[in-house]
Structure 1
């Protein structure tokens, strides 16, 4: 990660995830060309022409000026108001097939690590076990079909990997087209 970018507690490497990239574009908020631009979602009723720089995301000025959020609050149940504000209005979101949502662990939002496939996910067995359990709760009762789905990620589906900011436990959710 580039050291000159602002640090995002809940998305520690937005360059690696593709949410922020180098660019000569001018920021829609501060109207400066900072060398970096945000590439993922922003939800607002206003007409925004252009993209935001990481600094206008980090300090909240983009969300405030354009009355919007970078991430929906879905999944952030149980976090305090300050954390909710930090994740939805001061943290870059990420690219997903469906609307991205944040995971919570230890009563705090988890840090988004990135989109992964089955091979990468097997390095985090606690996340894989949690994902299997979540998928079973959502109707995947056939173990063979469930494992087939998990092992063939990347064909219209992927896993979003997170890490608890308190205890370090990895978590994941399935995102499909």
Structure 2
């Protein structure tokens, strides 16, 4: 990540994920063109004209001024109020086919690593095993069907990969069109 961009503990590489990109646009919060702009979701009842710069995300001014959030709090159960606010109001969200959700491990929000296909999951067996277990709990009882789905990821589905900020365990959830 560029040294002059703010650091986001729970989304350490928003350039690679595509959530922040170089752009000559004026931020509706600070009214400045800082050369970088946020490209993913922002949930607000207010009409926001334009996209935010990373600095207005990092300091919370965009979420405060426009009474909104970058990520839904769904799934962030068990984290402190401070962590909840950091993830939802001061961390860039990410692009997903379904509504994005943030994963939790060791009672802390996990760091979003990125969108991966089967090869990316296979590189992190802990995430692949956890995803298999979660999918079985969600009703995927046919093992051959489950494996076909997983190995075909990157075609009609992907996985959102996270890393625990406490113990380093990788986690994932499936995202399909």
Shorter-chain TM-score: which interval? over 0.9
1:14 corresponds to which residue?
14
Q: Secondary structure at the match of 2:161?
A: strand
Instruction: State yes or no: 1:130 paired with 2:130.
Output: yes
2:155 corresponds to which residue?
155
2:101 corresponds to which residue?
101
Instruction: State yes or no: 1:70 paired with 2:70.
Output: yes
Find runs of 4+ consecutive structure 1 residues off by over 6 angstroms: none
TM-score normalised by the chain length of structure 1: 0.99
Query: For structure 2, which runs of at least 5 residues remain unmatched after alignment?
Result: none
Whole-Å Cα distance in 1 between the matches of residues 154 and 172 of structure 2?
15
Q: Secondary structure at the match of 2:158?
A: strand
TM-score normalised by the chain length of structure 2: 0.99
1:86 corresponds to which residue?
86
Whole-Å Cα distance in 2 between the matches of residues 74 and 158 of structure 1?
20
1:167 corresponds to which residue?
167
Cα-Cα RMSD: 0.5
- The farther-off stretch of 147-156 and 97-106 is 147-156
Whole-Å Cα distance in 1 between the matches of residues 139 and 167 of structure 2?
29
Encode CA deviations 1:146-175: one digit per residue, 9 max, x unaligned.
Answer: 000001112221000000000000000001
1:37 corresponds to which residue?
37
Whole-Å Cα distance in 2 between the matches of residues 165 and 80 of structure 1?
14
